[in-house]
A and B are shown apart, each in its own frame.
Chain A
Amino acid sequence: DTGVSQDPRHKITKRGQNVTFRCDPISEHNRLYWYRQTLGQGPEFLTYFQNEAQLEKSRLLSDRFSAERPKGSFSTLEIQRTEQGDSAMYLCASSPIMGPFNSPLHFGNGTRLTVT
Chain B
Amino acid sequence: GNSVTQMEGPVTLSEEAFLTINCTYTATGYPSLFWYVQYPGEGLQLLLKATKADDKGSNKGFEATYRKETTSFHLEKGSVQVSDSAVYFCALSVTGNQFYFGTGTSLTVIP
Contact = CB atoms under 8 A, between A and B. Distances in A.
Interface of A: 4, 33, 40-45, 48, 55-56, 91, 93, 99-110
Nearest to A43: B101
B43 A4 contact: yes
Interface of B: 4, 32, 34, 36, 42-46, 49, 51, 89, 91, 93, 95-104
A104 B46 contact: yes
Contacts, number: 57
Contact of B102 (A42, A99, A101, A110): A42
Majority DSSP secondary structure for residues of B touching A: strand
B5 to A, nearest CB: 11
Nearest to B99: A105
A107 B100 contact: no
A1 to B, nearest CB: 12
User: Looking at A33, A103, A105, A108, which has the most chain B CB atoms within 10 Å of its CB?
Assistant: A105
Nearest to A42: B101
A108 to B, nearest CB: 5
Given A102-B51, A104-B49, A107-B44, A45 B34 contact: no
